[in-house]
Amino acid sequence: MSNDETLTLTLPRPLAHEVRRAVERGDYSEPSDVVAAALSVWIERGSPPAMTDSRVRELVEEADQSGEEQGNLDLDELLAEARGSSKTAR
């Protein structure tokens, strides 16, 4: 019995093109092998933690507690900017 699970993925065109090319070159037997290999490398390298609002707040708190140079940081503005929107125009 196989431990495989079927997932349906949507990739941006350039990535889908590279997956197809890897199979056409004979580097992999099927697209799922390409994705599995890429994910394995990503996991081996230590997949980055999700950068959630709470994680950003934790990092800012750590920076505040480190005693390093103080700056003028508006956390809510930083989070809004990271999301691609601006809280306020200054």
Q: Which helix (H) or strand (E) holds 16?
A: helix 13-24
Q: For residue 78, is it within any domain?
A: yes
For the chain, the domain total comes to 2
Are 37 and 58 in a shared domain? no
Whether the model clears a pTM of 0.85, i.e. scores above it, the answer is no
Residue type, 87: K
Q: For residue 2, is it within any domain?
A: no
Q: For residue 73, is it within any domain?
A: yes
Which residue range(s) make up the domain with 62?
53-82
Q: pLDDT (tens digit, 9 = 90+) per residue, 41-77? A: 888 888 777 777 787 788 778 877 777 666 666 777 7
Q: CB–CB of 77/87 below 8 Å?
A: yes
